[in-house]
Structure 1
Amino acid sequence: MIRKLFIANRGEIALRVIRTARAMGIETVLGASEADASSLPAKLADHVAIVGPGPSSQGYLSIERVVDAAVRSGCDAVHPGYGFLSENAGFARAVAAAGIRFVGPDIATLEGMGDKLAARALAVEAGLPVLPGGEAATRADVHARATETGYPLLLKAVAGGGGKGMRRVDRPEDLDAALDMAQAEAQAAFGNGAVYVERFVARGRHVEVQLLGDGTNAIHLGTRDCSIQRRFQKLVEEAPAPAMPLASREGIEQAAVRLARHLGYRGAGTAEFLVDAEDFSFYFLELNARIQVEHPVTEAITGVDLVEQQLLVAMGKPLSLTQAMVRPNGHAIEVRINAEDPDADFRPSPGRATRAAWPAGEGVRVDTHIGLGGEVPPFYDSLMGKLIVHGATREQAVERLRKALDSLHIEGLPTTAPLHRRIVLDPRFVAGGVDTGFLTGLAQ
């Protein structure tokens, strides 16, 4: 059993883990930066251990400081949440070396999935389709691979995630400048400036599959559509993926399970695919070896607590679910409320929320760490909270989302809420099945 859990994260995901751990009778220690020492998660955790000052590089991203704090706190397990060190094989190795359990996949899986080129190769081994492209170690290699792949194309960080280190290139004359920017961003975000080339699909949909595995068995919990994005970062997610033929949806789900079983995957993970909106052909993109920001929409339609499943697998227990037991019910949609200004190219807007009135009601869930007077520090991701709605049908879920957004009021700093109010009224969104270019044509 896990007796005392160290949470190596912050914000709404830290609060989310605390909630499930408490329900399971597990004592919690929040590893918080000095900037988060008075945050809501810090107030609700059983204990707080300071891991460093505000900047991530000196706290949440410092393997030595985080592991030392977990050891000093007497914890027997570490939950990494998402982002920060959640997919860092070196962190998982250091946790294990300290005699503490890492709540996540084994080190070999983290190493394989953390390198996007290695992940492509493993997917091919498992029989999954991938987009044309591949490794490009030097500038000359990038040009050669680009000529072979054709335009438009994407430059993608080998160690990437969260849309960082990615650049679309439409013409050969733009390649060098885009390469410089992609490498610089990748180096700053991941400490690794390597990139690779991949064909860009003009009308692509971002569809992913939630996976659970215990190292021997693996199942899926259905699809999610995450196609509404800015700068390759998700804004809206829904489950199941709408306006998709059943055969295509089942094909993606089966492909994801094949990969999980090929890896001997342990814990919660998400296989991400690009779906061509024209013919519904699909291609493997990556496997996120952690819990996702958008996990609540899957919980809403399945009734499965994914954090609980993570903790049970970390305790060495076999999956308590079979594929036949997973019976999705209805439709769920999540919108991310970020402290950003959509009218200024989504510029982050840290500060204090002078008012924070979150919606409630039937079929409405809010995951947030921001209340009245809540602070959005300048050091971290701008996510303030997630508004999730669930309905018997997608139509009901869309209507509940519209009403919930109308009753959401945050003051003191710009947020993405006004943008979401425009999205939910757009006829293309109401119809379902939009592609990743949706925001470009969104009416002001």
Structure 2
Amino acid sequence: MSFLPQEIIRTKRDGGELDPADIAAFIRGLGDESVSEGQVAAFAMAVFFQGMSRSEAVALTVSMRDSGEVMSWPEIDCPVVDKHSTGGVGDNVSLMLAPIAAACGLAVPMISGRGLGHTGGTLDKMEAIPGYTAMPDSALFRKVVASTGCAIIGQTGNLAPADKRFYGIRDVTATVESVPLITASILSKKLAAGLGALVLDVKCGNGAFMDNLDRANELARSLVEVAVGAGMPTTALVTDMNQPLASAAGNAVEVRNAVDFLTGKARDSRLLDVTLALAAEMLVSGGLTPNVGEARIRALAALVDGSAAERFNKMVAELGGPLDFLADPDRHLETAPIVSACLAGRQGYVTGYDTRAIGLSVVELGGGRTRPGDPVDHAVGLTQLLPIGTRLEKDTPLALIHARSDNQLSATEKQLRAAVRIGDAAPQVSSVVLGRHG
């Protein structure tokens, strides 16, 4: 019988379970465009309302993986492990995590994305470094991973290309939030990267796509179970995104924050907790340490003794960035012409954030994008953001605003004041790691 996309759509629309061969045929049609945009949209909506079983989600993920190149790393003689975050505000963990893991003996071919909406993108942050080649050819990517232990780059068109078309259609048909479709989108690219294991950071809170713990746990379970079902050992941490993770939000400012973190000049405590927790999961997943306690000690040692910083600087240099970047980041990173403190204006405590609004304020400064092709201003952003629980006086800065114009500065001050909640009593501060799956 010939392949009929409408019958697959009908089966899923009516709550039936799809055969793996039918899912594979549909994804092949997605790739060669024999399935129309309308049919893809209808399929996505059917899945959005009817969901998918784990076996269907595994079949969808594997089919999307197989729509392009599937990498392998025969030249690497150590465990190949990566991490993926579902996105947040001030989440520059990858910039420290990849070199920490590499310094501990893992190979980390980290294929990252750009920011969209209120969330920042690792690739945009790396491109704030002059000369950095975020989209190297395969030969350079492999060379840097082999020699440095890590490389942070962007997704090539050859890895899970069906996902690019599928996501573009989901984005304009209000079906992005479907857990099975999110799962397949994330994992197809990671499976195609040829990893031996994967660690996931599923964000939860008012700055995350999953705004409550139930939804975050649902996504974490789905990701772990589908990844394992597709043959890749995977664990997931659920982490808090009810406030910016780092004290900086933007591109160059988050890179500077990462440099300070790696060199020991300053380390935000919640950022340190998340980075070490994920590093420990990676080391255990790669078989380098028997438990997360020992792994955390090993990761912290690589940070404190400077070996992680050395890996980061080597990665930047080998991908075209300045040789002395870590020694003199201020000489290389672009700065905004206006840097101004936004004062609290009253006594009290920082009791909470509208974290999504913080991210959107960076977007409106020009530091993010509302459409995939929009340019990004690497210089603008926020620094010295305060953790929840901080005691305020009237003249305490809520943050420093890095802006291009007085109009931007004025608008961002209003947004920042509206996004930071101030109360008279000190709040309870929750743990940044909320749970683990796998």
TM-score strictly above 0.5: no
Q: TM-score with structure 2 length normalisation?
A: 0.26
More strand by share: 1
More helix by share: 2
Q: Which has the higher contact order (CA 8 A, sep 6+)?
A: 2
Q: TM-score with structure 1 length normalisation?
A: 0.26
